[in-house]
Amino acid sequence: MSIRYAIPDRILIAVGGNAIHPGTSDGTVDQQLAIAAHTSDCLLPIMLMNKELIITHGNGPVVGKILMRQALARDRIPPMSMDICVAHSQGGIAYILMQACENTLRTHGSRRHVVCLLTQVEVDPADPAFATPTKPVGFFYSEDEARAISNALGWEMCEDAGRGWRYVVPSPVPQHIVDVSLIEAVAKNGAVVIAGGGGGIPVVRNADGTRRGVDAVIDKDLSSALLANVLDVEVMMILTGVPNVCVNFATPAQRDLHHITLAEMKTLHAAGEFATGSMAPKVDAAMRFLTAGGQRAVIAHLDDAEAALRGEAGTQIVLD
């Protein structure tokens, strides 16, 4: 049975990178624009509520294509560091999504603005992830291709589940959203704010207060949870390509989770019910958000965005 919830004054929505560029598409400009238009249509009812709204987004597989271009041009063009690649993908995806959302709003008579803020996210330089890179990014290569690319670009490559070789980078835990007060101020002023794309541009703070980029990627949902907690967001929604979190996935005993407490979700997560690299990071982010002060976390399909916000679709995770 669904529970209908009141709409909070401030909402954070984390949209998967596939909402802009599904891995199954060729990634042409027309395809990306059409997908962004669909995303904005799904978010329109929420944007029209005129609540404070922050949207974060993933950057896969766009950042992978940026890396592929570097691999193909490795004999002619010096490579960019990973933080700059994340910045490129963050700006490009946010531009497409920002334009699509504003166009949809104008079509429905709303003058509400949509703003993209390029977002740096600080990580700890002593994070153990830097000593043991584990996050594969980008395309698959043969062993010979991987060796040549590693020699030319200095990338650390790893074999990925028998499917080929990929570039592997650290994935440190986000510690601080840079200029979060600016995100808050713009949201309070009435604009829809797109921020934190791809988990944020990974940076570390030096002893003198200056920052520098690092070769890493930050989990988008973890950064979204941190941002939501810092902004005192009551409800965080993670929109993806499935309608619910489920247990016993892909077995005859598969069961959708519609309404579950934080304690119950922690038990399932500890039992290994959720696949690493797919649902587990989303569940982990939802639990972190609630543990740090959030009131309700929602994991749902993009197409069900409004219904999920009201509690009528998706997986609703609430405090005990």
Asked whether residue 143 is assigned to any structural domain, the reply reads no
Q: What is the pLDDT of residue 237?
A: 98
Does an H or E element contain 93, and which? helix 82-107
Question: Within this chain, do residues 207 and 295 fall inside the same structural domain, yes or no?
Answer: no
**Active-site residue among 17, 92, 294, 314?**
17
Asked whether residue 134 is assigned to any structural domain, the reply reads no
220 is catalytic: yes
Which pLDDT tens digit goes with each residue over 248-258? Answer: 988 898 999 99
Q: Is residue 60's pLDDT more than 90?
A: no
Question: Within this chain, do residues 92 and 240 fall inside the same structural domain, yes or no?
Answer: no
Question: Within this chain, do residues 245 and 110 fall inside the same structural domain, yes or no?
Answer: no
**What are 306's two structure tokens?**
């409004």
Mean pLDDT, rounded, for 264-275: 94
> C-alpha 28: how far from its chain's center?
21
Mean pLDDT, rounded, for 269-282: 90
**What are 84's two structure tokens?**
């700059």
17 is catalytic: yes
**Active-site residue among 92, 196, 199, 282?**
282
Q: What is the pLDDT of residue 250?
A: 83
> C-alpha 290: how far from its chain's center?
18
Question: Within this chain, do residues 82 and 198 fall inside the same structural domain, yes or no?
Answer: yes
282 is catalytic: yes
Asked whether residue 142 is assigned to any structural domain, the reply reads no
**What are 10's two structure tokens?**
């401030």
51 is catalytic: no
Question: Within this chain, do residues 186 and 246 fall inside the same structural domain, yes or no?
Answer: no
Asked whether residue 153 is assigned to any structural domain, the reply reads no
Amino acid, single-letter form, for residue 68: M
Q: Which residue matches tokens 């404070």?
A: 52
Does an H or E element contain 85, and which? helix 82-107
Asked whether residue 86 is assigned to any structural domain, the reply reads yes
CB atoms within 10 A of CB 169: 24
- 222, 224, 230, 231: CA torsion to nearest 10: -160
* Range scoring the smallest mean pLDDT among 24-28, 88-92, 202-206: 24-28
Question: Within this chain, do residues 242 and 224 fall inside the same structural domain, yes or no?
Answer: no
Asked whether residue 248 is assigned to any structural domain, the reply reads yes
Give the structural domain span for 210.
9-122+181-228
Question: Within this chain, do residues 312 and 210 fall inside the same structural domain, yes or no?
Answer: no
- 102, 103, 109, 111: CA torsion to nearest 10: 30
pTM, full prediction: 0.94
d(CA 15, CA 17): 7
Please state, for a pLDDT cut of 70, what percent of the chain lies above it: 97
Asked whether residue 136 is assigned to any structural domain, the reply reads no
**Active-site residue among 16, 64, 135, 198?**
135
- Answer whether 262's CB lies under 8 Å from 287's CB: yes
**Active-site residue among 58, 138, 196, 220?**
220
Question: Within this chain, do residues 14 and 42 fall inside the same structural domain, yes or no?
Answer: yes
Question: Within this chain, do residues 188 and 294 fall inside the same structural domain, yes or no?
Answer: no
Among 228, 252, 283, the domain boundary falls at: 228
Question: Within this chain, do residues 189 and 308 fall inside the same structural domain, yes or no?
Answer: no
Q: Which residue matches tokens 């603005």?
A: 113
Question: Within this chain, do residues 220 and 240 fall inside the same structural domain, yes or no?
Answer: no
229 is catalytic: no
Total domain count for the chain? Answer: 2
> C-alpha 214: how far from its chain's center?
19
d(CA 115, CA 102): 9
Asked whether residue 16 is assigned to any structural domain, the reply reads yes
Which of 22, 9, 8 is closest to 190 using CA atoms? 9
Question: Looking at residue 19, which CATH number applies to its domain?
Answer: 3.40.1160.10
d(CA 228, CA 262): 17
**What are 106's two structure tokens?**
């104008």
Q: Is residue 176's pLDDT more than 70?
A: yes
